[in-house]
Structure 1
Amino acid sequence: MLLYGRNPVIEALQGGRVSELLLARGVEDAFAEQVQSLAREAGVRVRWSPRIELDQLAGTTQHQGVLAEVEDLAWATVDDILDRAEARGEALLIVLLDGVTDPRNFGAIIRSAEVLGAHGVVVEERRSAPLSPVVAKTAAGATAHLPVAQTKNLPRLIDALKKEGVWIYGAAGEAAQDVSRTDFSGRAALVIGAEGEGMRRLVREKCDVLVSIPVRGEIQSLNASVAAGILLYEATRSRGKKT
């Protein structure tokens, strides 16, 4: 898989996942020196190419002058996420995505989840963007640190999590419960639905609590990745108060 973007490429080099590095001719800055040094340490071949070649390979001009050939991103399992929380001695905080198919939203949610201390992200197999270079670039390296798993049936997974004592919080714009006044202590799963449609009816019905983000503008809804970031922040803030 070809990965592009400066932060994702640095993360991949540091993680030992790069087999070849391509730099655009004319990239003569501190970044170029840094990635060449990392490549030398990892024994990775560096190839200089015309920028137009990188444009064609990446399918975009937004590659920031660097491409890396890396192993394909691999899906984790839900058990990997549960084990991660247990190994850290922390109450589970997991993000469940119901129909988020835009790769940039998907990547941004992964990034927020990693930065704000979630233990993993889970998507439904048939209702999600794939783990692609666009997702990896938008996640800015977070895919190297945070387990991202698939499930065949999200409602069934929610039932299984509830049996394990996980409280399910669904994001719904019309919900009466203000997210900033919600207690997220204990094992928690945050459910984010698709933009426009929100959560499916069955998923919504399985949530223990529906929470909303207060809005004051004329537009009454937020981008899915922005909403996820706010919910994650409020969840970690609430847990901080408890500790």
Structure 2
Amino acid sequence: MSYIYGRNPVLEALRSNREVQKIYIAHGAHGSHIREIYKLAKRNRIPISNASHKKIQQMVGDVIHQGVVALISPVEIKSMDNLLHQLPNFPQPLTLVIADRIQDPHNLGAIIRSSKALGASGLVISLRDSTPITDTVIKASAGAALKFPIFKAKNLAQAVDLLKENNVWIYGASLESEVVLWEMDFKRNCAIVVGSEGKGIRPIIQKKCDQLFHIPLSGQVESLNASVATGIILAEALRQR
């Protein structure tokens, strides 16, 4: 079991039929979200305890917890074998997001939130080079990480090869490419590789991409945050479909 915090993440946990063992609500916390948490917890017979802000802070640390903490079952991270088995069952054409070396939990959480909101089929993360799915990731995703399919790859380069063998096109976001985002064809099964803001996609992964592209920028900014870039790319993919 693990703690999650924040009003939206706790509500998402209650709505997703995830096992919630107990909820802690700070004295004086109120509002529509709090009322909904009480309602759903009562419906599902989940105990709620009122606690001081100090006690809640002792549970989750010095974070913006919004006066709500829940003890839940861990987020299920599925294997690449599971993903390959599920490929035929995803709505077609599918769009996967592959996160290469995303180590900031807030960034990864925002990527998950954008991916779920913009119709992506799932997220693939590296077991070694990415941040794990922590309570911070869940909070940054506004609870989306509790319901969005996430898959782990022991070796991301091999995972890309496996997807290509299963007729999934691999697209990579790269500032060095001359191809513009809206010139890409997202009306086919594809996986979009997004690298960290500082380092981008690793060369070994870039070489395996079927096509690289860039997001055109105007002004003095040379690059985008990985989660912002993911949102822009997925919005274009959704527009085309």
1:192 matched residue in structure 2: 194
The answer to whether the Cα contact below 8 Å between 2:194 and 2:200 also exists between their aligned partners in 1 is yes
Residue aligning to 1:99:
101
Q: In structure 2, what is the equivalent of residue 173 of structure 1? A: 175
> Match for 2:234: what amino acid?
L
Match of 1:48 among 47, 50, 68: 50
Query: Residues 144 and 200 of structure 1: is their aligned pair in 2 closer, same or farther, counting only changes over 3 Å?
Result: same
CA offset at residue 85 of structure 1? 5.1
Shift of 1:40: 0.8
SS of residue in 2 equivalent to 1:177: coil
Q: How far apart, CA to CA, are the structure 1 residues paired with 2:32 and 2:186?
A: 43
The answer to which of 122-131 and 8-17 deviates more is 8-17
Q: Secondary structure at the match of 1:121?
A: strand
For the aligned residue pairs, the C-alpha RMSD in angstroms reads: 1.4
Query: What is the identity, as a one-letter code, of the residue corresponding to 1:228?
Result: T
Q: Distance in 2 between matches of 1:200 and 1:219?
A: 22
Identity of matched residues, %: 38
4+ runs deviating over 6 angstroms: none
CA distance in 1, matches of 2:91, 2:34: 40
Q: What one-letter code is carried by the residue in structure 2 that aligns with 1:215? A: L
Kept in 1: contact 2:18–2:73 (CA 8 A): no
8 Å contact from structure 1 (residues 82, 119) kept in 2: no
Q: In the aligned structure 1, how far is the partner of 2:157 from the partner of 2:31? A: 49
**Please, which of 163, 166, 180 is the counterpart of residue 164 of structure 1?**
166
Among candidates 139, 146, 149, match of residue 148 of structure 2: 146
Distance across 1 between alignment mates of 2:126 and 2:24: 34
Amino acid at match of 2:45: G
* Aligned partner letter, 1:163: E
Given that residues 84 and 119 in structure 1 are in contact (C-alpha distance below 8 angstroms), is that contact kept between their aligned partners in structure 2?
no
* 1:85–1:118 Cα change, 3 Å: farther
Report how far residue 79 of structure 1 moved.
4.4
TM-score where L is the length of structure 2: 0.94
Unaligned ranges ≥5, structure 1: none
2:78 aligned residue: 76
Q: Deviations over 1:102-140 (max 9, x none)?
A: 011111111111111111100111000001000111111
Change (3 A) 1:28 1:146: closer
Deviations 1:169-218 (A, max 9, x none): 10001210100221111110100112211011111111111110001121
Counterpart residue number, 1:228: 230
Q: Deviation at 1:149?
A: 0.9
**Quick one: structure 1 residues 24 and 123, their matched pair in 2 at CA, closer, same or farther if it must change by over 3 Å?**
same
Q: 1:53: Cα distance to partner?
A: 1.5
In the alignment, the residues of structure 1 paired with residue 18 and residue 150 of structure 2 have an alpha-carbon distance, to the nearest angstrom, of 19
CA distance in 2, matches of 1:16, 1:75: 14
**Cα distance, 1:160 vs structure 2:** 1.3
